[in-house]
């Protein structure tokens, strides 16, 4: 109860949103909250609209709960955000929910209030839930601010399941604590699912998370300052490397890099046909680990993370750069 109240306090403080403790569930990570949410709302064959690129687990969680992920490609010129027309044309009579992730993993994009209003309008008109994964909400840069879609009015709040957790803003990834805020009937269904699966997240983590949410937030701000420096450094270095194109991320801690230039070229005498080829050669021959974009539904990209020390980032980028210079044919 203390932790659920702390979540209510946080939602009020950061978003002006009123939730009572019966509209909050705490789970073993945001991933677990997502899993509970889809178990609660999906019937077999229900569709969930997932903008591409997407975080890897969404599609799998939807499928595990007998839902159908409906993948909707987004455009680079829209910073990979789903636009009104794209969303509207993906809605069918079977659409149960829209998956929204802002700030976004892997692109770092943040939806503006106008863009969120468009999504809210479509959701309300069609009576569709919005599963809004806001786990990176605190990690925003250059004065950009995260807005929760639930803030945009009572009707959309009723349809929104806000997902959040302690992994990113408080760097408590291994502590495994996530939470969801939604209409009481949804939280009740999620609680039933969770209660039969794992009961609850461990009590030590719950106490630690209560302190993190209720206590001073200075450390979060200090961490964001460091992330901002690493982001600029990584972006500038990558932008100077041959054939790599990336968007400056507005939030989260990833840079999504377009590697189209490398397709059908040879690295270490091996032909690159996919992001997996690129990542594998870079890992095995160059000893630098990146995530292939195929995991997020876009095969001509790789994802880099700056959630590591500046020293590691510098070393990684030095190695990456010289590896490409020496081995690209």
Q: Which residues bind ligand PLP (CB under 6 A)?
A: 29-31, 55, 101, 105, 133, 135, 165, 167, 173, 178
State in angstroms the smallest separation of the CB of 216 from ligand PLP. Answer: 22
Residue sitting closest to ligand PLP (CB) = 29
State in angstroms the smallest separation of the CB of 268 from ligand PLP. Answer: 30
66 neighbors 219 (Cβ within 8 angstroms) = no
> Among candidates 140, 152, 106, which has minimal Cα distance to 256?
106
Which is closer to ligand PLP, CB of 56 or CB of 124? 56
State in angstroms the smallest separation of the CB of 125 from ligand PLP. Answer: 26
Residue found by looking up tokens 């799998």 in the block: 60
Which is closer to ligand PLP, CB of 100 or CB of 272? 100
Give the three-class secondary structure for 307: coil
Tell me which DSSP letter residue 228 carries.
H
3-state percent breakdown (helix, strand, coil) of the chain, nearest 5: 50, 20, 35
State in angstroms the smallest separation of the CB of 27 from ligand PLP. Answer: 9
Which is closer to ligand PLP, CB of 32 or CB of 237? 32
Which is closer to ligand PLP, CB of 252 or CB of 324? 252
37 neighbors 163 (Cβ within 8 angstroms) = yes
Phi and psi angles of residue 133, each rounded to the nearest 5 degrees, phi first: -85, 110
Which is closer to ligand PLP, CB of 202 or CB of 319? 202
Instruction: Give all strands (DSSP E) within 24-90, no chain letters.
Output: 24-27, 47-52, 68-73
State in angstroms the smallest separation of the CB of 155 from ligand PLP. Answer: 25
């Amino acid at each position: 109860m203390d932790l659920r109240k702390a979540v209510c306090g946080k939602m009020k403080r950061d978003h002006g949103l009123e939730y009572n403790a019966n509209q909050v569930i705490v789970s073993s990570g945001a991933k677990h909250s997502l899993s509970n949410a889809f178990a609660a709302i999906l019937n077999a064959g229900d569709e969930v609209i997932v903008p591409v690129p997407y975080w890897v687990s969404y599609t799998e969680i939807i499928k595990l709960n007998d839902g159908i992920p409906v993948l909707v490609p987004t455009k680079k010129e829209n910073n990979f955000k789903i636009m009104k027309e794209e969303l509207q044309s993906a809605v069918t009579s079977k659409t149960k929910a829209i998956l929204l992730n802002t700030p976004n993993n892997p692109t770092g994009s943040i939806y503006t209030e106008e863009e969120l209003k468009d999504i809210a309008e479509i959701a309300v008109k069609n009576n569709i839930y919005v599963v809004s994964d806001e786990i990176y909400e605190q990690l925003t840069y250059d004065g950009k601010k995260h807005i929760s879609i639930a803030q945009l009015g009572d009707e959309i709040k009723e349809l929104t399941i806000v997902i959040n957790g302690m992994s990113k803003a408080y760097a408590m990834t291994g502590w495994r604590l996530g939470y969801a805020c939604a209409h009481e009937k949804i939280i009740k269904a999620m609680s039933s699912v969770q209660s039969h699966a794992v009961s609850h997240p461990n009590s030590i983590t719950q106490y630690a998370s209560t302190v993190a949410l209720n206590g001073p937030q200075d450390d979060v701000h200090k961490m964001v300052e460091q992330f901002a420096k690493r982001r600029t450094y990584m972006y500038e270095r990558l932008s100077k490397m041959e054939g790599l194109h990336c968007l400056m991320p507005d939030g989260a801690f990833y840079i999504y890099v377009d590697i189209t230039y490398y397709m059908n070229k040879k690295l270490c005498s091996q032909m690159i046909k996919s992001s997996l080829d690129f990542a594998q050669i870079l890992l095995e021959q160059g000893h630098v680990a990146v995530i292939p974009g195929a995991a997020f539904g876009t095969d001509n990209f790789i994802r880099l993370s700056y959630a590591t020390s500046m020293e590691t980032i510098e070393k990684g980028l030095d190695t990456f750069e010289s590896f490409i210079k020496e081995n690209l044919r």
